[in-house]
Chain A
Amino acid sequence: MHTKIISLAGALLLLAACSSPPPEAPPGGPPGPPGGAGIGSTNIVPGSQQDLEASAGDRVFFAFDRSDITSESQQILARQADWLRRYPNVTVTIEGHCDERGTREYNLALGERRAQAVKNVLVASGIPASRISTISYGKERPIVVGSNEEAWAQNRVAITTVN
């Protein structure tokens, strides 16, 4: 993981120095795993959503009907906090989402609780609360479509989005 971060930082420096940007990645592709695949072929603007995705990972996942931050999520959020410190003017909104296996109103609350759990970790890492807002989409805006375990796991998520 460490080597990856170092190589990402190197890539960012390279990109910043680059006068003619490399061709854009095709839009609308599936979101890559945290850590950011395909960085070399994409023009990443420092402090952008894409940068956050590539540098830290923009999302953390949750177990069914849970909002606990797993140790894996802790690592992603530590990287998000580092990233936010690097770009002190950036504000973010944390979107809480749920799978479709709950009732609408309960899931709105659960999505909010997940978003808030992420916010609490970032604030505890020293990011001012004023830079972080939260919103819940409950089960209304699934990230991955489909009524199966894989899709549900991807939809139990809090996504940090750059405003």
Chain B
Amino acid sequence: MKKISFEFIGALIAAFAILLHTGAPVRAELRIDITSGKVEPLPIAIPPLAGGAPNESQAGQDLAGVVSADLERSGLFRPLDPRGFIQNVSVADVQPQFGDWRQINAQALVTGSVKTQPDGRLRVEFRLWDVFAEQQLTGYGYTTTQQNWRRIAHIIADEIYKRITGEEGYFDTRIVYVSESGPPEKRIKRLALMDQDSANNRFLTDGRALVLTPRFSPTAQEITYLSYANGTPRVYLFNIDTGQQEVVGDFPGMTFAPRFSPDGNRVVLSRAENGVSNLFALDLRTRRPTRLTDSQAIDTSPSFSPDGSRIVFNSDRGGSQQLYVMSADGGGTKRISFGTGKYGTPVWSPRGDLIAFTKIDGGSFFIGVMRPDGSGERLLTRDFLVEGPTWAPNGRVLMYFRQSPSDSRGHGGSPRLYSIDLTGSNQREVTTPQDASDPAWSPLLR
């Protein structure tokens, strides 16, 4: 993992703050409330960051483009067309002419600069301005290797998102998923990893073994997933840095549906034995398994609460597939889903306030959320097949996969990744080089 140094441009902010307090009257804060259902996207101007040398100008343009795309995809910002810009801020340290930006109805403005340092690394600075209050809202500087420029753009987008919404961002993150190709009956499935904006896609496995359901470690550069590598489907760990793969635990028979605990020290999984599937937790340090459920049913798809105290899972112990919550050591099990249909793949929000799930009802699939006590069920999207929600680390956006019906020649059944806001709006395809399923969102990389 490459280290990025962060420095706060404290002096700059202080200087401007002093100036502004003697100037214009204090206005209401520029802010988006993202908890309300329908949000009018905030018009924001993101001109290329200023650079001297041609490579710096190019980097400045590329950075602005990635920041712009991140913010646009969130559905909360409307980056303005640079062709309408009046002021040219391509020179470093130029003071914004706020009147020029007000004239094109920009409410927020991003300025900044790119400089190549003597050691070859890039020095990137940015400032976010409230155009109407004529006030700097935030500003940071970063130094990084040239190859790492996209991460700087995502970090800047996260800072802008945070300053305007009051919530943590989710742009400096990655997605691990199952990349699919080939005919349905002989599907090739590979683990793939990409940035949340679909850039830097790479394949982690070669496709010889069927792989499913990858999930990120919350603390390490590791993924847990299911592989048929040695004939029997088993839970594995994949080290992203080294490419090393190893079996998790010494269970006979099939293990599946793995997920890390929030501290990264355990993996909770299902183990099938004699037609029943029960939940086990495996301590990754001692490699000792602990049995969590002992049912004559199918208990699977476990997911920890963010404080690690509870586990939500689905079970057909009551006759049909429903959601249950128990304590992390397996006690105090309570059913929480009581709507019509069946419920599967529960995933606890990183904020702890909601559980996302797949619901199957009346021949349709749904992605929905409910509170951990089962109240407040809300369905966000419905289709022939939508499945496997995963949360952005800020708990505001979900990603899942969607598959349309296929004809008898297998045409039309291509699964694809989609994202949707917790409000149910802003549904978008997340592009991938091939068909894709089972997305899992990483924590923020910092």
Contact of B301 among A105, A117, A147, A151 (CB under 8 A): A105
Contact of B301 with A106 in the complex, beta carbons under 8 Å: yes
What's the nearest-Cβ distance from chain B to residue A142, in Å?
Answer: 6
Contact of A145 among B270, B276, B409 (CB under 8 A): B409
Of A100, A103, A117, most buried by chain B (CB within 10 Å of CB) is A103
Assembly CA distance A68 to B375 (angstroms): 34
Interface string of A111-149 (1 = CB under 8 A from B): 011001100100000000000000110001111111110
Majority secondary structure, B binding face: strand
What's the nearest-Cβ distance from chain B to residue A124, in Å?
Answer: 13
Asked if B370 CB lies within 8 Å of chain A CBs, one says no
Contact of B344 among A106, A116, A141 (CB under 8 A): A106
Contact of B408 among A100, A101, A112, A145 (CB under 8 A): A145
Residues of chain A contacted by B187 (CB below 8 angstroms)? 140-141
Asked if B360 CB lies within 8 Å of chain A CBs, one says yes
Contact of A103 with B344 in the complex, beta carbons under 8 Å: yes
Interface string of B180-195 (1 = CB under 8 A from A): 0001111101000000
Identity of the chain A residue whose Cβ is nearest the Cβ of B178 in the assembled complex:
A104
Contact of B405 with A109 in the complex, beta carbons under 8 Å: no
Assembly CA distance A108 to B345 (angstroms): 13
Interface string of B155-198 (1 = CB under 8 A from A): 00000000000000000000000000001111101000000000
What's the nearest-Cβ distance from chain B to residue A147, in Å?
Answer: 3
User: What would 20 more interface pairs be, CB under 8 Å, given A109-B256, A109-B277, A112-B277?
Assistant: A65-B320, A100-B385, A102-B344, A102-B360, A103-B344, A104-B213, A104-B437, A105-B344, A106-B298, A106-B344, A112-B275, A113-B272, A116-B275, A117-B275, A142-B184, A142-B185, A145-B183, A145-B406, A145-B408, A146-B410
Chain B residues in contact with chain A, CB under 8 A? 183-187, 189, 210, 212-213, 226, 231-233, 254, 256-257, 270, 272, 274-277, 298, 300-301, 314, 316, 320-321, 342, 344-345, 358, 360, 384-385, 387-388, 403, 405-410, 412-413, 437-438
Closest 9 CB pairs of A and B: A147-B405, A116-B275, A103-B344, A146-B408, A109-B277, A109-B298, A105-B257, A113-B275, A112-B272
